């Protein structure tokens, strides 16, 4: 079995949303300080001994988070049609990060998105 390296970085963003069709107060405009944890799974090291530079992962995580920062999520594609739940936002961030980061030997394996200090969702497409 090949060696596996799991690398994790954190970043955050502030954004507002309303949950469509939600039977409660979250259907009203409100905001969160979202905390994002991104995990990359790698199977090889480079000559420096790094699977992938933490700086590279943080750069992509911050780039994607930055596109959501201080925005009303319901106005941004895909959330004009997809409800901006924590689940859907985590999946969106995962796919955006994967598209920008994945290589033959390192790929995004999970995104954990904290909506509050007490609730988070972890999204993965790993089997």
Ligand X SMILES: Nc1nc2c(c(=O)[nH]1)N=C([C@H](O)[C@H](O)COP(=O)(O)OP(=O)(O)OP(=O)(O)O)CN2
As annotated, the active-site residues are 26, 70, 115
Nearest of 91, 86, 127 to residue 111 by alpha carbon: 91
Cβ-Cβ contacts under 8 Å for 115 (sequence gap 6 or more) = 32, 34, 86, 121
Per-residue x/- mask for ligand X, residues 45 to 84, rule CB under 6 A? Answer: ----------------------------------------
Q: Do the annotations mark residue 30 as ligand-binding?
A: yes
Sheet with 106-116: strands ordered across = 71-72, 5-17, 30-42, 106-116, 119-123
Chosen residue from 72, 87, 95, 100 binding ligand X by CB under 6 A: 87
What CA–CA distance (Å, rounded) separates 17 from 79? 9
Chosen residue from 11, 39, 74, 85 binding ligand X by CB under 6 A: 85
Q: Does residue 28 bind ligand X (CB under 6 A)?
A: no
Per-residue x/- mask for ligand X, residues 99 to 118, rule CB under 6 A? Answer: ----------------xx-x
Nearest of 63, 68, 62 to residue 17 by alpha carbon: 68
Binding site for Zn(2+), by residue number, is 17, 30, 32
Binding site for ligand X (CB under 6 A): 19, 26, 30, 85-87, 115-116, 118-119
């Amino acid at each position: 079995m090949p060696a596996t390296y799991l690398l994790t970085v954190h970043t955050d963003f502030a954004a507002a949303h309303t949950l469509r069709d939600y039977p409660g107060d979250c259907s009203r405009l409100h905001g969160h300080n979202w905390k994002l944890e991104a995990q990359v799974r790698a199977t090889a090291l480079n000559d420096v001994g790094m699977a992938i530079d933490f700086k590279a992962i943080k750069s992509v995580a911050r780039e994607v988070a930055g596109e959501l920062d201080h925005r009303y999520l319901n106005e941004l594609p895909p959330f004009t049609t997809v409800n901006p739940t924590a689940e859907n936002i985590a999946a969106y961030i995962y796919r955006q990060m994967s598209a920008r980061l994945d290589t033959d030997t390192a790929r995004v394996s999970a995104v954990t998105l904290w909506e509050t200090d007490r609730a988070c969702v972890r999204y993965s497409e790993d089997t």
